[in-house]
Structure 1
Amino acid sequence: MRIVVGIGNPGREYAGTRHNVGFDVVELLASRHGTSFRPGPNHGLEASFPYRGERVLLVKPLTYVNESGRCASRVLAFYKEGVPSLLVVVDDVNLPLAKLRFRAGGSSGGHKGLRSLIDHLHTEGFARLRVGVGAGDSHQDLRDHVLSRFGKEERQPIGAAVERAAEAVESWFTDPPDRIMGRYN
C-alpha cells in the first residue's frame, strides 16, 4: 500500500489558500483516478484506488495543519503500514511560487505540519513533496500569508505546480527517490 497525506486545513474558509496546496494535490489525484473522499476512521477523509496492482490511499487530515501528525500516525497504525509507505504533500513558503522539491526525508524546515508528523511518527525519515507557495510580503505575518488565497497572477503557475505535483506523486508509486528528484526538483 502507498499512503499519500495532503496537508491542509478542513473547511470551506480555507479552500484555495496557500496552506491547502497539499489538499489540492490529493484532490486532483482522486479526480484523476475516479475516486472521491469519504470520512475515514482516523481523523481524516480518505480515498483509495488501485495503481499497477497496489492500493493507494489518499488522506486529507481533519486535524488542521499543525496537528497533521496525529492523523497520519493513526492511518499508518490502522492499516499496519510503516513510514516507507508514506508520502506527505505540503506547502512551503521557503520555495518560490510553483517550485517543487521532493525529498526522501529531512527536517521540518520550520513547517508546523511537518513538525507534527515528525513528532507523532518519531522520525524524519518519511518522503515529502514540498510545493512552493512563495514567501509573500516581508511586512505580512507568516500566518496571514499561508492562510491567504493565491492572487490572480499566481493562479496559473500554482495550478500547473499542482498538476506537476500530482505527476510526482504518481512517479513515487514506482520510481526511486533519485529519479523523482531529478525529474521534479
Structure 2
Amino acid sequence: MAKLIVGLGNPGKQYELTRHNTGFIAIDFLLDYYQYQNTKEDFKSILYFSSINNEKVIFAKPQTYMNLSGEALIMIMHFYKIKTEDIIIIYDDKDLELGRIRFREQGSSGGHNGIKNIIKHLGCEKFNRIKIGIDPPAENFKIVDWVLSKLSQEEIQIIKSSVNNIKNFVKDFAAKTEFKKIVSAYNK
C-alpha cells in the first residue's frame, strides 16, 4: 500500500513561484531530498514514484488548477487504492506567518479553494494536511492578488527551510506511522 503526498498549486509558467504554489515548491524540495525512480503524467497530475525506507511513496502535483485539486486527488486514490489516512496534502495558508508549519488531521477549508474542492470530492473534512504560511495579504492587496503574487528569493528560502524541517516527518509517515502520533512527537 502506497502513501500519497500531494502538493497543491497551479500549473503553468505564470504561476511558478507564486504564494499559491507553495505546495509545488514543497514537493520539489522533498523530491530533491528523497529522489524518485520514475515519473508520469496521469490522472490530471504529474506523479513521482519514490521509495522511502523501502516504502512506496507517490508524490503528486495536480495539474487541474487549484480550484479543482480534488478531481485529480480522487482519481489517484481510486487507481492506486490509497486510503484517506494514507494521504498528506501540502498547501499554502495566508493566515500563517511566512514559513510557519501547521499540521491538521481535519477541519474546514478555511477559505482555501483547493481544500474546499478536496473536501467536496472526498466527502469529508478528515484528511491529513501540512499548511505552510505565506503571510497575510500585504496592505492594498486583494486576497486573490496576494496568493498569486511572486515570492522573492528570500521568501522561497524561508519556505524551503521550513520544508527541510518536515522532511523527517514525511519519512516517519512513509514508515506507516499514524499522522497523529508523528504530529504529537514533532510538536514536542
Q: TM-score, normalised by structure 1?
A: 0.91
Is contact 1:7–1:20 with CA below 8 Å preserved after alignment? yes
Is contact 2:29–2:160 with CA below 8 Å preserved after alignment? no
Give 1:6-85 correspondences, 5 Å limit. 6-35=7-36, 38-85=39-86
Cα deviation, 1:29-71, whole Å, max 9, x if unaligned, reads 2222222773332000000111223200000000011110000
Cα deviation, 1:94-113, whole Å, max 9, x if unaligned, reads 11111000112221111100
Q: Which amino acid aligns with 1:126?
A: F
Q: 2-side partners of 1:79 and 1:139: how far apart?
A: 44
Among candidates 179, 183, 187, match of residue 180 of structure 1: 183
Cα deviation, 1:109-143, whole Å, max 9, x if unaligned, reads 11100000000111111100000000121320111
What is the aligned length?
185
Give 1:32-181 correspondences, 5 Å limit. 32-35=33-36, 38-174=39-175, 175-176=177-178, 177-181=180-184
Is contact 1:21–1:91 with CA below 8 Å preserved after alignment? yes
Task: Give 1:12 deviation, angstroms.
Answer: 1.6
Is contact 2:173–2:182 with CA below 8 Å preserved after alignment? no
- RMSD over aligned CA atoms reads 1.9
Cα deviation, 1:152-177, whole Å, max 9, x if unaligned, reads 55343223123224343333323432
Q: Which amino acid aligns with 2:138?
A: D
Q: Which amino acid aligns with 1:112?
A: N
Is contact 1:8–1:22 with CA below 8 Å preserved after alignment? yes
Unaligned runs of 5+ residues in structure 2 are: none
Unaligned runs of 5+ residues in structure 1 are: none
Q: 2-side partners of 1:76 and 1:141: how far apart?
A: 34
Local SS of the residue matching 1:98: coil
Pair 155,22 (structure 1): closer, same or farther in 2 beyond 3 Å: closer
